[in-house]
With several copies, the nearest count.
Chain A
Amino acid sequence: MKLTLEINGRAEEIEILSGAPECRFKLGAEPARDALVEIAEPGVYSVLLDGRSYDVYVEDAPGGGLVVDLNGHHFEIQARDPRAWSRNAAGQGGSAVQSVLSPMPGKIVRVLVAAGDDVVKGQAIIVVEAMKMQNELKAARAGKVLSLTAKEGATVAAGELLATIE
């Protein structure tokens, strides 16, 4: 079984040659390696690789993909079956549209602009609050407010799209 993984943004090919618990795998062009892998608890894997013991925690990420924690280090991993692989992710990026994302989970306490408004660079757009701390989200550059999904009083997640500016 082959998978393409995107680990903290970097693509890696992994091939599982034999399954757990006595697992043989190949990472990219590296030689095959052996590991003992057991499920200790649901979502918690105990891995022995070259005799070293790793306690690995896996969770579904809120936005899809997996979050893997290992000794305090944090990996965000997207796994794709190569057959399902497509380059649609690359289609995003160089857009001229500026997204205003919530920097933290919280509540929208003020929306300072309306759709269609022109804004200048650094202008406050939305105020998000959590845990007694207010955060003013500002326009990164001048433009016109295209969309505004943020509503006062609404609860938002970290990274949630609140507005777009052209």
Chain B
Amino acid sequence: MFRKVLIANRGEIAVRVMRTLREMGIGTVAVYSDPDRTALHVRMADEAAHVGPGPSSESYLRMDRIIEAAKRFGADAIHPGYGFLSENADFAEACEDAGIVFIGPSVAAIRAMGSKTAARKTAMAAGAPVVPGTAEPVGVEGLRAFAREHGFPVLLKAVAGGGGKGMRRVDCEADLESALRDAASEAERAFSSAEVYVEKLIERPRHIEVQILGDRHGNMVHLGERECSIQRRHQKVIEECPSPLVEATPGMREAMGQAAIRAAQAAGYYNAGTVEFLVDQDSRYYFLEMNTRLQVEHPVTELVTGVDLVRLQVEIAAGARLPFTQEQVAWRGSAVECRVYAEDPYNDFLPYPGLITRLRRPSGPGIRLDDGVYRGWVVPMEYDPLLAKLAVWGETRELAIERMLRALGEFDVAGIRTNLGFFRQILEEPQFRAGKLHTGYIEEVFGKRCAPEPPAEYAVVAALVAALHTAAGKSAAVPTAAPAASAWRESGRSERLR
């Protein structure tokens, strides 16, 4: 087993990985950029290496500095977390070249799954269903033929594309030609290539993904699915295990799980990975892409299956065999996770970095909190707005949701804005409760996104406290060692109010 592991990441995932490493008796090396000098992952690590200034490109994405730090501190392995260099095959290769174990899949598997089109071909070859499409450039005639075969709506995409540029939805044959013209010219402007291909458009799809886990000896299992349909700006905000759809559909988990395993094995995959599927309204699933790393939302799978995915990642990277078979994987109850972001849900989900002036965390039965922040810390504006992942477990989905609502009520963050209140609104929606989810859910159901109206009595209480607080003077905001019960009396401030 490794003696020391460098975690090439920051925030909650760096903290989460360190926790397991500590439980394994393995030393931890953090890396940090200037604004992260006092970040929680640095404070919690055994050792810490500075890797550059704020911008990721000059710190967390600097392979050379990270590998140099690993060597200097004598780390045997690097855990990349998610994001940053985690799906960078060159980084994995550079680790290997430096004699440091990359805790993840092989370089070849990252390459095979790293390109969306290559992954699609791998998945197809392995017999996994993919969204019908040409994946090759298409003209008007080809487009017309495709639409006739698969039906409308279809989606035009730039071959060289990304970021939504050169994309056009087409709903009927009459719009075909003009849409192709528009898409091609937009693609030409954006990517200097007018090539466009076509895919069947899946309306109101669910996003459901399968966790797989394989060792370097050819064994592979799936750990079931996660439902990740609740998204804002194409980013997941609520995830569940199991998916209410899959749970209700006999055989679906095993079929998707086997499809995921086939696709991963076709790429010679090992370690933890996630195969993402789109699921249409008839419960047909289509391979979307594979994430060749630990997923943000892995805790819901851990809560339901009882495994520690990070421990298994580390053990597998060290050469261990999978300690269980597919038959031994068992699912118990239901888990839900909310991604707590520093953002304003009532102002277009705009980010809201800054000083955390107050932080009260939920606890008690069935709560798991993975966070990377603390009171008094300045959430930097350079990185992702993810502050914490609040996950809960319950015997059933209904109980898990009730528990999440309870936990959200105990969670208080001030100084910055968060989406905590927004989660309470979603979780109380009948359609969410019924498990009728799709990736456009938030747009559709919370189009207006207003903060809920407080009960009238709350305004009375707020007014009373504001008056007392104002009268007591600002000094009341300064912590004091006076016993709580006598805070008024000792301060003598109460008198001023008469």
Interface with A: B166-174, B187-195, B243-251, B461-469, which one? B461-469
B488 in contact with A49 (CB, 8 Å): no
Q: Are A41 and B73 in contact (CB under 8 A)?
A: no
Are A1 and B353 also in contact (CB < 8 A) when A60-B477, A70-B462 are? no
- B414-A57 in contact (CB<8A): yes
Number of A-B residue pairs with CB-CB distance less than 8 Å in the complex they form? 219
In the complex, what distance in Å separates the CA atom of A43 from the CA atom of B415? 13
Contact indicator per residue, chain A 47-89, by CB within 8 Å of chain B (1) or not (0): 1110111111111100000111111111101010000000000
CA distance A155 to B457 in the complex (A): 39
Q: Interface 1/0s, chain A 10-54, versus B by CB < 8 A?
A: 001010101111010101000001011111111111111101111
Binary CB contact string for chain B from 412 to 448 against chain A (1 if under 8 A, 0 otherwise): 1011000011001000000000000000000000000
Most buried by A among B43, B72, B344, B479: B43
CB closest chain-B residue, reference A155: B381
Which A residues touch B49, using CB under 8 A?
A: 51
Measured between alpha carbons, how far is A129 from B55 in the docked complex, in Å? Answer: 12
Q: Which residues of chain B are within 8 angstroms of A130 by Cβ–Cβ distance?
A: 350-353, 381
Of the residues A12, A21, A40, contact of B463 by C-beta under 8 Å: A12
Do A20 and B463 have beta carbons less than 8 Å apart? Answer: no
A38 adjacent to B38 (CB under 8 Å): yes
Across the interface, do A72 and B462 meet the contact criterion of CB distance under 8 Å? no
- Known contacts A7-B459, A57-B358, A70-B454; A46/B42 CB under 8 A: yes
9 of the cross-chain contacts (CB-CB < 8 Å) are A16-B467, A27-B460, A41-B377, A52-B46, A59-B414, A66-B469, A71-B409, A73-B451, A131-B343
Query: Do residues B414 and A53 form an inter-chain contact, with CB atoms below 8 A?
Result: no
Which residue on chain B has the smallest CB distance to residue A131?
Answer: B351
Determine if B487 and A39 form an interchain contact, defined as CB atoms under 8 angstroms apart: yes
Asked whether A40 lies within 8 Å of B377 as measured between CB atoms, the reply is yes
**Contact flag A51-B480 (CB < 8 Å), given A45-B465, A131-B342:** no
C-alpha gap A53/B44 in the complex (Å) = 8
Stretch of B307-315, B331-339, B490-498 contacting A (4+ beta carbons < 8 Å): B490-498
Q: A53-B42, A77-B463 are in contact. Are A38 and B488 (CB under 8 A)?
A: yes
Interface-located stretch among A90-98, A100-108, A119-127, A144-152: A100-108
Q: Which residues of B contact A99 (CB under 8 A)?
A: none
Contact B37 A46 (CB under 8 A): yes
Is A161 close to B, CB under 8 A?
Answer: no
- Counting chain A residues whose Cβ lies within 8 A of the other chain, the interface size class is 35 or more
In the complex, residue of chain A having the shortest beta-carbon distance to the beta carbon of B451? A74
Task: Give the complex CA separation of A48 and B48 in angstroms.
Answer: 7
Beyond the given A51-B47, A131-B351, could you list 13 further A-B residue pairs with CB under 8 A, ordered by the A residue number? A5-B466, A14-B464, A19-B471, A37-B464, A38-B488, A47-B461, A51-B72, A70-B462, A73-B452, A104-B351, A105-B381, A130-B350, A130-B352
Residue among B38, B343, B485 with most chain A CB within 10 A? B38
Residue of B nearest to A70 (CB): B458
- Using CB atoms, name the residue of chain B closest to A106: B381
B326 within 8 A of A: no
Of A21, A27, A41, A135, chain B has the most CB atoms within 10 Å of the CB of A41
Taking a contact as CB atoms under 8 Å apart, the answer to whether A20 and B494 are in contact is yes
Nearest-neighbor residue (CB-CB) of B453 within chain A? A73
Closest chain A residue to B358 by CB distance? A57
Q: Is B474 an interface residue, CB under 8 A from the partner?
A: yes
* Chain A residues near B47 (CB-CB < 8 A): 51-53
Q: Does B30 make an interface contact (CB < 8 A)?
A: yes
What is the CA–CA distance of A68 and B382 in the complex, to the nearest angstrom? 29
Residues of B within 8 A of A112 (CB): none
* A115 at the B interface (CB under 8 A): no
In the complex, what distance in Å separates the CA atom of A57 from the CA atom of B48? 19
Q: How far is the CB of A67 from chain B (nearest CB, A)?
A: 7
Report which residue of B42, B348, B451 has the largest number of chain A beta carbons within 10 angstroms of its beta carbon: B42
Which of chain A's residues has its CB closest to B411's CB? Answer: A72
CA distance A59 to B409 in the complex (A): 19
Residues of chain A within 8 A (CB-CB) of B376 are 40-42, 44
A10: nearest residue on chain B (CB-CB)?
B459
* A3 interface hit (Cβ, 8 Å): yes
Q: Are A72 and B464 in contact (CB under 8 A)?
A: no
Near A by CB (< 8 A), chain B positions 100-131 give none
Q: Within 8 Å CB of B38, what residues of A?
A: 38-40, 46
Query: Are A77 and B462 neighbours in the complex by a CB distance under 8 Å?
Result: yes
A60 to chain B, nearest CB (A): 7
Which of B37, B347, B384, B461 has the most A CB atoms < 10 Å from its CB?
Answer: B461
A152 smallest CB distance to B (angstroms): 15
Partner of A41, one of B343, B467, B484, B494: B484
Q: Which residue of A lies closest to B348 (CB)?
A: A103
Q: Which of A19, A52, A56 contacts B497 (CB 8 A)?
A: A19
- Bound-complex Cα distance A67 to B385 (A): 22
Which chain A positions have C-beta within 8 A of B412? 57, 69
Given contacts A20-B494, A79-B467, contact A135 B460 (CB under 8 A): no
Residue of B nearest to A3 (CB): B467
Give A29 Cβ to nearest chain B Cβ, in Å.
Answer: 13
| Minimal beta-carbon separation of A131 from chain B (angstroms) | 4
CA distance A3 to B468 in the complex (A): 10
A74 vs B457: C-alpha distance when bound (angstroms): 13
A59 to B470, CA, bound (A): 11
Cα separation A66 to B358 with both chains bound (whole Å)? 15
Q: Which residues of chain B (398-419) have a CB below 8 Å from chain A? A: 408-409, 412, 414-415
Which residues on B sit within 8 Å (CB–CB) of A54?
458, 461
Given the interface contacts A27-B460, A35-B464, does A40 sit within 8 Å of B381 by beta carbon? no
A19 lies within 8 A of B494 (CB): yes
Q: Is the CB of A60 within 8 A of B474?
A: yes
Contact A131 B344 (CB under 8 A): no
